[in-house]
Amino acid sequence: MTAKRRFVLVDVFADRPLAGNPLAVFPDAEGLSTETMQALAREMDHAATAFLFPTRRTGAAFRLKIFSRDREIPFAGHPALGAHFVHASERRQALKEPVTRVAHEGADGLVRVELAVEAGRIAMLRLTQQPPTYGAPLEPEGLARIAEALGLEEEHIQAANQPVQPVSTGLPVLIVPVATLSALQNVRPRFDLLRAALEGHDASIVYAFTKETIAAPSAAHARAFDTAGSVEIPGAGAAAGALAAYLVANSAVTVTPLTRLVIEQGHSLNRPSTLFAEVRVERLAVTRVVVGGRVIRVGEGTIEL
């Protein structure tokens, strides 16, 4: 017998359809095996695909599992935001203005999300990430390997006067500062070399950024390279959270008790993404990182299994 599974397509971190990071959400994934979910993620061919399951955890609206084209991912920003947008829409969730607080069960426990509500509709979603952890900055030899893997001169990185450093707010990311927008736009990654350069580090995402931006309100222009999948990601919420914490911890932006930042991404893929970050600082330490953006529904369909 043929079974049908319905999915909803959304664009995350987008201000218009067919921008941002595309995501397929399966709102009723109960009964799907790990092997089937992995096959469906390959079929969707997005950076990630979200699967929603019932949960018994108190306070959680659903249990979320996330798969990239080739593996399960314990945490990622845009699938979490897209999943909550679809869940709220599908279940006709009562929305309280100005903020409705929700949560889901993730791989490491409860993950909290805020729905910013205007005129009875979800205007933006914000995801609270884990407190940041910082790895040791790369030594000159490691920096040189990263520069070569990205097709950059070492001076393009050194001139930014910031460390190349692993940072995590739930997903380990290697943050790579680049001095100019033109240099970052010209990056042509060698994923084999990036994987070799990341050996010994937990990170599989390289998040290269510059403080030169296209839009004046933006604090950084970024590009995300998934070394495991050998692809560029147009909008990476977990990586943006790590970058926001990095910028504040290194005083690379004006720091206040609640620092708000805009990060632009995806332009190199013709899918502009806008990510909004908030970093709370107490006693000179980052204590809370929130990353959000808009989600736009673009369609739905069914797959026959």
Instruction: State yes or no: cis peptide before 217, omega within 30 of 0.
Output: no
Same domain, 86 and 228: no
**pTM flag (> 0.75):** yes
Same domain, 153 and 123: no
Same domain, 244 and 149: yes
Same domain, 160 and 279: yes
Same domain, 218 and 283: yes
Same domain, 114 and 171: no
Confirm if 37 and 65 have CB atoms less than 8 A apart: yes
pLDDT for 192: 96
Confirm if 204 and 211 have CB atoms less than 8 A apart: no
Domain that holds residue 56: 4-128+294-304
pLDDT for 1: 58
pLDDT for 187: 97
Q: Residue 283: left if φ>0, alpha if ψ -120 to 50, beta else—which one?
A: left
For residue 34, what are its two tokens?
């790990």
Same domain, 249 and 157: yes
Same domain, 160 and 19: no
Same domain, 202 and 111: no
Confirm if 84 and 98 have CB atoms less than 8 A apart: no
- CATH number of the domain to which 77 belongs: 3.10.310.10
Same domain, 88 and 172: no
Same domain, 153 and 268: yes
Number of domains in the chain: 2
pLDDT along the chain (305 residues), means of 10: 88 96 97 96 95 96 95 92 97 94 93 95 95 95 97 97 96 97 97 94 94 97 94 95 97 96 98 98 93 97 94
Same domain, 116 and 147: no
